[in-house]
Amino acid sequence: MRNILKIGAGALAALGLTVSVAQSAETVLWWDFLGGGDGVRMKQLISDFNAAHDGEITIDATTLEWGVPFYTKVQTSAAVGEAPDVMTYHASRIPLAVSQGILQEITTDDWSAMGMGQGDFAEATWDAVTIDSKQYAVPLDTHPIVLYYNKDVLSAAGLLNDDGTPKGMDSREGFTATLQALKDSGSIKFPLGSVTGDGNFMFRTIYSLMGQQDGELMTDGEFLTGDNGDKLENALGVLAEWTNAGLQSTYTDYPATVALFTSGEAAMMINGVWEVPTMTDQHAAGNLFEWGAVELPVIFDHPSTYADSHSFAIPANAGKEMTAEKRAAVLEVMSWVDKNSLFWATAGHIPAYAPVTNSAEYKAMEPNATYSPLTANMIFDPKSVFAGVAGPMFDVMSTYFVPTLNGEMDPADAVADIKDELNDM
């Protein structure tokens, strides 16, 4: 933008004319869905950006309600040309958005202008924002689930390896033995805290266990083809066994699961990396035990972990063409935040931009550096208009996950009903 103004002034000077060019700042309208610790950190990044670009670009940010309300507002606003200039977007929702025509492509020229490209991102993360060989978003992070653990409790039970990680992480038998030993110690209420009262959340764990068997939820547009139903049944089966044996919390919602772990009543917890700030802040205040977070245990054949990605997307505002100056400003916003996402990592997320995660500063961050290698084992949602955060696929599966995980429905029956309902969609 500054170069455009210089060229214009130079052309006028060549004609012998004297001009005074007053550069006006571009205002970039921004929408996000980031609350809690995420929201605090993003607001700080926005403030830092505005300070660094004073007089050039100003981000005017609005935070909206997460989930369906956010995506519905984007869709309706883009249809009448009232969507923002840039917005946060879950990678899992991109297939639906592309089918609705509400996202602009991030072109080759855009990537060049940002000084970024495919080689700067993990393969799975890049693929997650790609539809028909075109990119529709700039990945900011990946936010997988991980295993949190109470080092004090596991140490007292003799269940920590020399490197301070839990024992039994390499097999179903080994991890079940660790859970059983924790139960037998009598020092806690539950060996493992899981969000078993919310099937939408438990999809993350279940899909991870399917991935450990090379299972696919969708193949060529059809759900649970071939032996994929068996792999889903296997995943549900092991989780149901843990619940029935008293090794995992029952009918526990999200807040209660976090409370079980932070109170010391659960020795371990499966949850998203976004809970890292909760643990960090409580520990710093002297209100939490020594803790750690690692990649999920290998229950089946090999490591695999479900992840989604916060990304930046440009709405396709109907009847509203973005000027070259505005687009340049939007590209600067997206690239600057990505390149300065080390601070974003304090929210627990794994920055998507590889130069950040390869930096010495990031490698010194814990527990982030311990679990960040799981990016090599990530799996994202199937590319389907039915998938994605708060999508209909989650609602169908959630109906059956909760009773199955809590011992009230047979895994085989659940899979049969899930398969029928998903394919009916």
Task: Tell me the pLDDT tens digit for each residue of 205-259.
Answer: 999 999 999 999 999 989 999 999 999 999 999 999 999 999 999 999 999 999 9
Burial zone of 284 (CB within 10 Å; 0-12 exposed, 13-18 middle, 19+ buried):
exposed
pLDDT above 70 covers a percentage of the chain that reads: 94
DSSP conformation letters of 103-168:
B--B-HHHHHHHT--GGGS-HHHHHHTEETTEE--EE-EEEEEEEEEEHHHHHHTT-B-TTSPBS-
Q: Please name the helix (run of DSSP H) or strand (run of DSSP E) that holds residue 190, with its range, or none.
A: strand 190-193
Topology alike, domains 26-140+309-363 and 144-307+391-424: yes
Domain boundaries of the chain, sorted by first residue: 26-140+309-363, 144-307+391-424
CATH class of the structural domain 144-307+391-424: alpha beta
Q: Are 181 and 153 in contact (CB under 8 A)?
A: no
Least confident of 22-26, 73-77, 164-168, 210-214: 22-26
Q: CA 273 → CA 130, 246, 304, distances in Å?
A: 24, 25, 15
Q: What is the pTM of this model?
A: 0.91
Look at residue 58 and give its three-state secondary structure: strand
The pLDDT of residue 23 is 54
DSSP state of 322: P
List, for residues 47-79, the tens digit of each pLDDT value.
Answer: 999 999 999 999 999 999 999 999 999 999 999
CATH code 3.40.190.10 for 26-140+309-363: yes
∠ CA(383), CA(129), CA(315), 5° rounding?
A: 105
* Close Cβ partners of 110 (under 8 Å, ≥ 6 residues apart): 327, 331
